Amino acid sequence: MTYFEDGSRYAYLPEFADGSVNIGWLDAAEPFTTGDVPPEFVDRLTELCAKPVNLTRGFHYCNLCQVPEGQYPEPVTVATPSGDVLVGHGEIRVTGDDRVTYAAPDLVVHYVTAHRYRPPQEFIDAVLAG
């Protein structure tokens, strides 16, 4: 996965660089904020990540997960009410009350649930606002 600092301008896929703000483009080599998030945020984020936009070929794997030496990482799945969904091949876009659009990889839900990543409050509020 490509790392972008939270709050920086989106630049991952140039054709979709529309002034959006990066959230959740994590890398194991870079520190990130951890903490609790509301359960309803996780539910809504899961819904969004189950229907990503800006799909890419192939999948990104979570480099925050520990993989035993000599083994390849497994694709990441997220449990939804309608079944497991593969993530790591798209993005979500969320617009906040301040009219800022946030761009996050669909792996963000895994980062939140498996690694306790706590996105900025503005993003949490935008996801909850729907």
pLDDT tens-digit map of 62-118: 999 988 888 888 889 999 988 999 999 999 999 998 899 999 999 999 999 999 999
Q: Are β-strands 91-95 and 101-105 bridged in parallel, bridged antiparallel, or unpaired?
A: antiparallel
13-17, 23-27, 64-68, range with the lowest pLDDT: 13-17
Estimate the share of the chain in helix, then strand, then coil, as percent rounded to the nearest 5: 25, 20, 55
91 in a structural domain:
yes
117 vs 129: CA distance, rounded Å: 20
- Domains of the chain: total: 1
**pTM of the predicted protein model:** 0.93
For residue 15, give every residue at least 6 positions away whose Cβ sits within 8 Å of its Cβ, in sequence order, or none.
Answer: none
Give the mean pLDDT of 50-67: 91
9 in a structural domain:
no
6 in a structural domain:
no
Range of the domain at 89: 14-129
